[in-house]
Amino acid sequence: MSNKPQASNNNLKHEIREGQSIELLKELHILTRDGKLNQDSRRKLKQVYHLYQFIEPLLKGLQNSQNSISLVDHGTGKSYLGFILYDLFFKTLKSTITAQIYGIDTRDELISKSTALANQLGFNHMSFFNLSVVEATTSNLIPEKIDIVTALHACDTASDDAIQFALKKQAKYIVLVPCCQAEVAAILKRNHSKKNDSVLAEIWQRAVHGREFGSHLTNVLRCLQLESYGYFVTATELIGWEHSLKNELILAKKVSTSNEIAKQKLSGLLSTLNLNELAYRFN
């Protein structure tokens, strides 16, 4: 456990949770270098807590039911999520519980900086690896099974790669915040140019509608995919992490081996919208 300064009874006590690392919050630019909150950082801190409230119950459930917890964060970037989770939850765990956070990203400079910061703070159960999602699936650096898989602002098909990783790692929980979803919209537009006699094509004929509908449809397909693999799925709106106006948060909990009804709905939706070429991705 780190001996670095912690937030306590001071002028920030109503803004920052007791025991939080002031040094970490400064490194994440949530606090200024002189330990103060401005309006932008106050908004960022609120977003951090908002996201944490969704993940904390999952961690507590694992804490109460087993003696180990593992979490993989894909596209970890500057590792905001991993560090906040460690600071608020993992560092408080009893020594009888084995816990590890794995940050995965393909930008070596970010991996190096996150590794250095974890060492600096004494966050000994954080590891960062320069791997793609596909590489991480087979890498011996990552355990065969993972409890929680997260992917925040995973662009376009990166969320689908994270889902495939989670399925192969038999994840108990999956937390996704997708963004910039262009693949489905592009296919809808291309197929519409081939066949324009379907009234359904009016939904995506205009560019702005196509982008919005394509993004919405992509997440619907992801939810059905997860349900088909036996996950209970909820979707809600989340304020963006990096100044995005809004994003969809998808939470999935493994409850059974499979769901045939969800499989049929998924197949039917792909067929109805002439998207069978995407069956390999969502099935």
The pLDDT value recorded for residue 19 is 84
End-to-end CA distance of the chain: 43
The pLDDT value recorded for residue 85 is 95
Domains (range + CATH), the chain? 47-282 (3.40.50.150)
The pLDDT value recorded for residue 9 is 43
Beta strands across the sheet bearing 68-74: 126-130, 98-105, 68-74, 148-155, 173-179, 247-254, 231-238
Query: How many CA atoms lie within 13 Å of 31's alpha carbon, on the beta-carbon side?
Result: 18
The pLDDT value recorded for residue 108 is 96
For residue 270, give every residue at least 6 positions away whose Cβ sits within 8 Å of its Cβ, in sequence order, or none: 221, 276, 278, 279, 282
165 touches 178 (CB < 8 A)? no
Kindly report the pTM of this predicted structure. 0.89
214 touches 185 (CB < 8 A)? yes
The pLDDT value recorded for residue 260 is 97
The pLDDT value recorded for residue 11 is 52
Task: Say how far apart CA 271 and CA 268 lie, in whole Å.
Answer: 5
Q: What is the mean pLDDT of the chain?
A: 87
Name the stretches of the chain with pLDDT < 70.
Answer: 1-14, 193-197, 239-246
Task: Say how far apart CA 68 and CA 244 lie, in whole Å.
Answer: 34
Helix pair 207-228, 260-272: axis angle to 10 deg: 160
- Three-class DSSP category at 141: coil
